[in-house]
Amino acid sequence: MELPVLSEETVSFAFERSKEMLEMLVDFKELRMMYTCAIKEVKTKFEVLDTEFKVRYRRNPISDIESRLKSNQSILEKMERRHIPFSLENVEKNINDIAGIRVICSYIDDIYLLADALSAQDDIKILEVKDYIKNPKPNGYRSYHMIVSVPVFFAENRRNMKVEVQIRTIAMDFWASLEHQMKYKKEIPDQGEISARLQHCANGIAAIDQEMLALREKIEAAEDKPTEEDILVEKLMKIDVPLY
């Protein structure tokens, strides 16, 4: 079978298109690297706060810090849902949650304590805040969301990168993790009943969060106010607290 002879123009066009695609793939990989570095920057900020609270205060508000980089498939699917043409510029401009940090706290007031501490840092710019604790989603989801911009310094330049920060209690994270698993199970009968029961569970967990905070505050109020000597002794006892 004789193969068709391609014109010089066709070969040249195919070569240029292939070259453009390869360059975009390289640039996209570099962009993902930048988001990975942005995650490290914000995660380090929370780790610094965690270390400070561990040494300076009587209670440590951070239980765990998790991070994730959105997959290529999820990025493409999100852009397709929004009818946004794929380009590196459109990815940076329109997708705010490529880089993500999740901070798990023990109590509700810790959420706002940490959010305020991060917001007060002069190199952090707050782009968006969604308080799903004061205003839960219809399904019962609760969490505190921030989109922040953080400067990342590379060898030859500095880039301001966006990172999504989620701050929630252990109880909120427990509910959200199970709800996330359940919503990917298709063709389940009685969806309405399941949604109602999930919302009921979310309300119950929120009530427990409030009750645990009230109990902690009551215990703290009953404690004797420490003297200057007590504070000094407590600080001396924390000299050997591990800093990492």
Residues forming the active site: 164
3-state secondary structure the chain: CCCCCCCHHHHHHHHHHHHHHHHHHHHHHHHHHHHHHHHHHHHHHHHHHHHHHHHHCCCCCEEEEEEEECCHHHHHHHHHHCCCCCCHHHHHHHCCCCEEEEEEECCHHHHHHHHHHHHCCCCCEEEEEEECCCCCCCCCCCCEEEEEEEEEECCCCEEEEEEEEEEEEHHHHHHHHHHHHHHCCCCCCCHHHHHHHHHHHHHHHHHHHHHHHHHHHHHHHHCCCCCHHHHHHHHHHCCCCCCC
